[in-house]
Structure 1
């Protein structure tokens, strides 16, 4: 008698089987929904995921994140197929830096070194000398000879923070992330009064007045490591609320409080609507149907790869 193998019973189990059948890998950002993080092969911030994308031997990459992240994965893997569950999952920060306007600014300052935060379009990367993430931005800026002037784009808040940290003057593009500019200082101070022993941790994309009251400022992975290594047991977390899933998994005994947003919303925190466009069902359909696929011209990928490789070498 032939006994058939038990059939997968959940979408997550079906997805696991599909990955195996297609030699696919799922990369997910910390800001994704918990159920997506749970099926991902790798979870990380922009730098960690860029490294994983460069190292993977999988034939197919499904990027559970936003558009510029999937573009970066494709640039690092031009011969592989890269998919994004929802092509509309964009980025307010990347959108704040239109390529044509940025090109005109660069033409005005031809002697400046152009450093761009990875949260920008592939086309903006082609106008860059080196890319950075929040994890390695300070290192990248410090690697540039002091006599060289710098254009930093697109995040003005991260740029201001780096100027303060490195002592370098930079010409800043006037861009920002709507998620990290949504935190309310008044509400946060009120929250701190209720939890006076809490440590405030913040992402450097946040506005200066938020960073001034933070006990720790760092990248997404930096914040996770800080909470894991700290002797304190309560934290107010000023970044996209999706990070709380992994953070709570790492420190189940600690109290994590999302920093309050200016606007009233269901979670009373700051969430990226673009990140949340991806769902487990879209992720499954994306891999099953092999669409939508990220497609970039060979010329664009070659040009954009140069500053990304420089970043990875520095990292």
Structure 2
């Protein structure tokens, strides 16, 4: 903006890139003063800083990979803020997202949030553009919350949603069979990356593995809590069912008792033992089985 010499600008960018892992989100929100692009933030400057920082680690082996993890989180947060700008073009967004090596992200939740924000702002993207953008996300690095959100996200392509569901199923299978949990982890060479010793030391690799193990333990604990909740609900349903059958048994016995009393009353009425028939004699059968009423005794005339 003040027409500084190009050599001085490059020297300043070099010094900033040297300490990019120590920067905060507020410090890298540099506005764009150029009249060529209409974006609010200077995304091109951020791309140059990130690429220079990565080159310093690759070529000179400066510092450890922990700084690369910090820069990756910083870039994802920056992308989430820059994605709100409707003037931000897709190539610029993808270039900045791809400037960080894939192995530098322990989780892709921040990148997924930034891509989802970009898709929400830029609704006119074509189907192919959405596919190319979502290819940046590694579905195996999404947390449970992010995977649930992605599975119900209508802005994502169908292929991306299917990949998320398949990854969650594979994670669940690995938790059920812990012996196979570490055999399914892809090595950096299988992912098309450079050997890890170029980016991380042995301590950094141990730190990364500990983070992964901690995340898996949290996932297993959450599954156990869900199983306990389901078991408690099943127990409650069984108690309600048992109480219902005991009440039904009691009601059935009461009904049967009332029915027996009614039957007894009907039998009494059928035999003529009511109040109107007391004192009457029952008919007596004769020789041939015909009933005859006994004759009254004749009164003596004497």
TM-score (norm 2): 0.20
Q: Which has the higher helix share?
A: 2
Q: Which has the higher strand share?
A: 1
TM-score (norm 1): 0.20
User: Which protein is bigger by CA-based radius of gyration?
Assistant: 2
Q: Give the number of the structure with larger relative contact order, counting CA–CA contacts within 8 Å between residues 6 or more apart.
A: 1
